[in-house]
Amino acid sequence: MTSTIKFHGAVHQNLYLAEGGREVHAVITVDAEGDLAATANAPPPEAAEVIILDCSGSMGSPPEKIVKAKQAAGVAIDGLRDGVLFALVAGSFGARMLWPAQPTLVPANAQTRGEAKEALRRLGADGGTTIGAWLRLAGQLLHEHPGMIRHALLLTDGRNQHESPEELSAALQDCAELFTCDCRGVGTDWSVAELRTISSALHGTVELVVEPADLAEDFRAVIDKSMHKAVAEVALRLWTPQGATVRLVKQTAPTLVDLSAHRVDSGPLTGDYPTGSWGTESRDYHLCIELEPGGVGEEKLACRVTFVHAGAETQQSFSHTEPDGSTNDHAHARVRAFWTDDLAEATVINDKVAAVTGRAELAKAVHDGLAAHQRGDSDLAVDCFSQARTLAEQVHDRHLLAQLNQIYDPDTGTFRLNRMSAQDEMRLDIESTKTTLLGRG
């Protein structure tokens, strides 16, 4: 089925470079419309779903954990549209098919949903944790269905103790661009950094679910979002002129994800950066391009951006602001550079470029603070968290500011690190890479 998705947005950039300047920074705000599942006269897109459940020994302690995980998986199964292909994978030492018995995907209907939930009821908890093997089995199942919207939901309660980091990295390389994966950690004995590595590589999300009883609602939301995706495997295609160097391509909202290392050359002057599946949603991207300096008064095109998908028609329109303040629209996002000897022009920083730069600094300050705290360097941790709190106020990040205020003592003007529980650390780490969309004005 050929579907259509519409992208519209705006380019926000530092227009002027000082004489000899090389780096052009720009932010592209993108809004997509492509929710075919909500369109009455259009059939929904084909989709495939794999639910990966950690059933290692720790999931049985307390017993409520595995019980609630199985109930949540049942809720996820009920949320699948009729006809969506799906399977259940049980993960411990290695991975095995929980349902169906053979390594294949089956269409969702009343009968198969019932069979899958019956298999869930028989699942026990035993063994270790090898997340790379779990992902490989999901990749094997989903590899057979190119062109579909392919998604996995992974739940774990622990760290990847029985696999090396190299084994997990190799699995992620093999699974990259096969499917997107949303990761959920229950309890506080898992690693945020580990699951973030997985979710970033596979264009998904990571969340903490402290109480097993909250898993069902979280799973329902994840599957609902997956069922409303319209097209899979969308790429940000970046054209740059001869001699230009791409320094940075980063998604800055709704989560921070550096795409720079994921480039796939698609032509002599173009590269594609995978962005995963899209529905009706909004995202922001930060680009940095290095150019050969032009002369004063000279203008150069630094790059062009389009969003491409082999199986879907795309309609695109991006608004641009001219040096005189007027705006116009183009079928692709254009980033330009103007060289000037006017100091006032050269030092003007676009507010949206400043905002995304501040958010990156904010995330780094939080991560540095957490690392220092874990090393026992309290002085450095307090300095980093103080910087993070100031930055959170500057970029109006209410959620992260609220997390920092949990350990901030306004009477003394410092941080009480002894107040920070494991749950607080994990929430702070996760919130540091979540961002709000920039204004669309």
- Please say if the pLDDT value at position 437 is more than 90: yes
Burial class (CB within 10 angstroms; exposed 0-12, middle 13-18, buried 19+) of 397: buried
pLDDT at 45: 85
Q: Binning pLDDT at 50, 70 and 90, where does residue 36 land? A: very low
Give the global pTM.
0.92
**Distance between CA atoms of 52 and 142, rounded to whole angstroms?**
13
Q: pLDDT digits over 248-269, tens only?
A: 999 999 999 999 999 999 999 9
- Residue 311, amino acid: G
Backbone angles phi, psi at 16, to 5 degrees: -105, 140
Alpha helices, H only, 206-325: 215-227
pLDDT exceeds cutoff 70 at 2: no
Three-state DSSP class for 346?
A: helix
Q: Residue 75 above 90 pLDDT?
A: yes
With a cut of 70, say whether residue 41 has pLDDT above it.
no
Predicted local confidence at residue 5, as pLDDT: 85
Q: Indicate the DSSP class of residue 297.
A: T
* Beta bridge partner(s), residue 208: 185
Average pLDDT, the chain: 94
pLDDT score at 3: 60
Q: Quote the pLDDT of residue 39.
A: 47
**Cβ atoms 381, 420 nearer than 8 A:** no
C-alpha torsion angle, residues 423, 424, 425, 428 (rounded to 10): 120
Task: Convert the pLDDT of each residue in 284-298 to its tens digit.
Answer: 999 999 999 999 999
At 210-225, the pLDDT tens digits run: 999 999 999 999 999 9
Q: How far apart are CA 48 and CA 37, in angstroms?
A: 14
Residue 228's SS3 state is: coil
State pLDDT tens for residues 366-408.
Answer: 999 999 999 999 999 999 999 999 999 999 999 999 999 999 9
- Asked if the model's pLDDT at residue 7 lies above 50, the reply is yes
Instruction: Determine the Cα–Cα distance for residues 111 and 7; give it in Å rounded to an integer.
Output: 39
Q: How far apart are CA 323 and CA 89, in angstroms?
A: 55
Q: Which candidate, 246, 229, 324, 245, places its Cα nearest to that of 285?
A: 246
Q: Is the peptide bond preceding residue 62 cis, with omega within 30 degrees of 0? A: yes
Strand partners for 31: 8, 282
pLDDT tens-digit map of 301-348: 999 999 998 766 789 999 999 888 899 999 999 999 999 999 999 998
CB contact at 8 A, 5 and 312: yes
Residue 170 has pLDDT above 70, yes or no: yes
- In which band, very low, low, confident or very high, does the pLDDT at 42 lie, cut at 50, 70 and 90? low
**Helix ranges (DSSP H) in 33-164:** 63-78, 110-121, 131-143
Please, what sign has the CA dihedral across residues 440, 2, 202, 78?
Answer: positive
Q: What is the pLDDT of residue 110?
A: 98
Q: Which SS3 state, helix, strand or coil, does residue 229 take?
A: strand
Question: Among residues 243, 178, 187, which one has the least CA distance to residue 215?
Answer: 187
pLDDT of residue 313: 72
Q: Assess contact for 159 and 197: CB atoms under 8 A.
A: no
pLDDT at 1: 45
Question: Radius of gyration of the chain from Cα atoms?
Answer: 23
Burial 198-209 (b: 16+ CB within 10 A, else e): bbbbbbbbbbbb
User: Is the pLDDT at 37 greater than 70, yes or no?
Assistant: no
Q: Is the Cα torsion angle 364, 365, 366, 372 positive or negative in sign? A: positive
Residue 34 has pLDDT above 80, yes or no: no
Measured distance CA(63)–CA(229) in Å, rounded: 35
Looking at residue 421, what is its pLDDT?
A: 93
- Domains of the chain are 3-35+233-348 (2.60.40.3670), 47-227 (3.40.50.410), 352-431 (1.20.120)
Question: What backbone torsions phi and psi does residue 342 show, to the nearest 5 degrees?
Answer: -90, 110
Does residue 35 carry a pLDDT above 60?
Answer: no
Tell me the average pLDDT across 161-185: 97
The tens digit of pLDDT for each residue in 44-67 reads 889 999 999 999 999 999 999 999
Cβ-contact 44, 37 below 8 angstroms: yes
Burial 95-127 (b: 16+ CB within 10 A, else e): bbbbbbeeeebbebeeebbeebbebbeebebeb
CA gap 192, 386 in Å, rounded: 22
Q: What is the end-to-end Cα distance of the chain in Å, rounded?
A: 35
Q: Which two tokens stand for residue 361?
A: 């600094």
CA dihedral angle for residue 32, residue 35, residue 38, residue 40, rounded to 10 degrees: 100
Please name every residue paired with 329 in a beta bridge, in sequence order, or none if there are none: 319
